Amino acid sequence: MKEAEQVNDQSSKQTSEHPLKKVAMSNAAKQKRYRDKQKERGLQEMRGYLSPEAKECYQLISEQTNWSDSVILSNAVRLTYAAYKNGQVGLLNSWLKNNKL
């Protein structure tokens, strides 16, 4: 009996000395946690595809400014809104077409 008690005593010491390992999060869980944190910060994710013309513009802006994708996208939306509020969307679109951008 004493032997069994010693084994049980040793195993209980091991579990108290070595806490359980944390369970690794799946990639999907990590992504969800990241998106949730971004939403809590008031940020919104936008997705889309760039036309060949827009991709060329993106590359030039990225090289010249060293801005991140988020900054480029945020500024593009803000500039488009400014053109809209000032009645300049038509002028902006015609300039883009005339310059084949």
Q: What are 37-82's pLDDT values in tens digits?
A: 999 999 888 888 999 999 999 999 999 999 999 999 999 999 999 9
* Alpha-helical regions (H) of 18-98: 27-40, 52-65, 69-85, 89-98
Would you mind telling me the total number of residues written for the chain in this entry? 101
DSSP class of 42: T
Which has more pLDDT, 4 or 77? 77
Is 54 in a helix, a strand, or coil?
helix
Residues 17-42: what's their mean pLDDT? 86
Query: Residue 61 and residue 31: Cα distance in Å, rounded?
Result: 28
Task: Report if pTM > 0.85.
Answer: no
Q: What is the pLDDT of residue 42?
A: 92
